[in-house]
């Protein structure tokens, strides 16, 4: 067993790395496990920039392909991210969201995160047949379309597209940047009561990858939801995509 301590003058304090060359556990996985433990324990905090693969391999006494494999393993788990011109950085812990009739903005704020919103679109549109059917709007009637990017800290987390009947509420771009959509609906007197929701997954399109700082084809979680008020009227239809490396849904299952 060899004990390798990072030496020199790294940008941040590095953890001690111990590899056992006689172990059946692959060296890349031993390195990945110890880096992951340092991230989970806060030794490598969000935003920390790792040394490049060559220097890290030299300091750890490992080959560059071994270090690259370990880093890619943590990138795939959503603990590290590669940024051109910056290097490899530790990212924020994954957002784990309970499935409730709440907005992402409010859930992030309640979890102590720093939600931020960039409004991409806020305009009336002629809805596609699926949207019109979900909202129960009259043929030919416009609906209000909202498209936003939700950030947690500096990291883009989701692209949110929502449709509202035109007469439900008047919302502004400034309000959407500072508040969650459901908060604004409740302020307008809408009593949200129930929703039908479907969760899925697919690869990111080129446009989504650009907005979310991901590669094309990266895994995304998808969510569609139709929310109803206490009178049974459909008041919102949403189609959202989330970075699978940064986000997960949590459910509580009860036996009947």
Q: What is the pLDDT of residues 139-192, one digit of tens each?
A: 788 999 999 999 887 889 899 999 999 988 889 999 999 988 988 999 999 988
The number of CA neighbours under 13 Å toward the Cβ of 248 is 8
CB neighbour list of residue 256: distance below 8 Å, 6 or more residues apart: none
Pairing of strands 247-250, 234-243: unpaired
Backbone angles phi, psi at 146, to 5 degrees: -120, 125
Distance CA 136, CA 54 (A): 59
Distance CA 156, CA 74 (A): 19
Distance CA 60, CA 250 (A): 37
**Residue 54 Rama label (left phi>0; alpha psi -120 to 50; beta):** alpha
Distance CA 45, CA 93 (A): 10
Distance CA 206, CA 243 (A): 14
How much is the mean pLDDT over the chain? Answer: 82
Q: Where are the alpha helices (DSSP H) in 77-196?
A: 104-110, 129-135, 173-178, 181-187
Token digits of residue 69? 């494999």
Q: Are 77 and 39 in contact (CB under 8 A)?
A: no
Provide the pLDDT for residue 232: 86
Give residue 2's pLDDT band: very low, low, confident or very high (50, 70, 90): very low
Give residue 206's pLDDT band: very low, low, confident or very high (50, 70, 90): very high
CB neighbour list of residue 224: distance below 8 Å, 6 or more residues apart: 197, 198, 237, 238, 239, 240
* Cα–Cα distances in angstroms (integers) from residue 98 to residues 40, 95, 251, in the given order: 21, 10, 6
Listed range (17-31, 69-83, 89-103, 154-168) with the worst mean pLDDT: 89-103
> In the predicted model, is pLDDT for residue 109 greater than 70?
no
Mean pLDDT value of segment 33-61: 82
């Amino acid at each position: 067993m060899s004990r390798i301590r990072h030496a020199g003058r790294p940008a941040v304090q590095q953890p001690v790395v111990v590899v056992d060359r006689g172990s059946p556990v692959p060296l890349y996985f031993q390195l990945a496990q110890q880096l992951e433990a340092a991230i989970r324990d806060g030794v490598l905090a969000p935003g920390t920039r790792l040394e490049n693969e060559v220097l890290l391999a030299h300091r750890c006494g490992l080959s560059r392909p071994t270090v690259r494999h370990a880093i890619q393993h943590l990138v795939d788990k959503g603990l590290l991210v590669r940024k051109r011109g910056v290097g490899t950085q530790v990212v924020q812990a994954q957002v784990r969201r309970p499935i409730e009739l709440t907005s992402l903005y409010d859930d992030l704020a309640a979890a102590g995160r720093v939600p931020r919103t960039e409004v991409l679109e806020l305009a009336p549109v002629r809805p596609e047949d699926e949207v019109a059917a979900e909202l129960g709007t009259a043929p030919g009637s416009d609906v209000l379309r909202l498209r936003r990017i939700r950030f947690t800290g500096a990291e883009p987390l989701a692209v949110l597209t929502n449709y509202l009947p035109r007469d439900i509420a008047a919302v502004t771009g400034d309000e959407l940047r500072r508040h969650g959509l459901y908060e604004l609906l409740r302020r307008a007197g809408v009593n949200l009561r129930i929703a039908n929701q479907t969760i899925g997954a697919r690869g990111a399109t080129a446009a989504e990858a650009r907005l979310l700082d991901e590669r094309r084809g990266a895994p995304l979680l998808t969510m569609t939801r139709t929310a109803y008020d206490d009178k049974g009227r459909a008041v919102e239809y949403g189609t959202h995509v989330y970075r699978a490396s940064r986000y997960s849904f949590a459910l509580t299952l009860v036996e009947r």
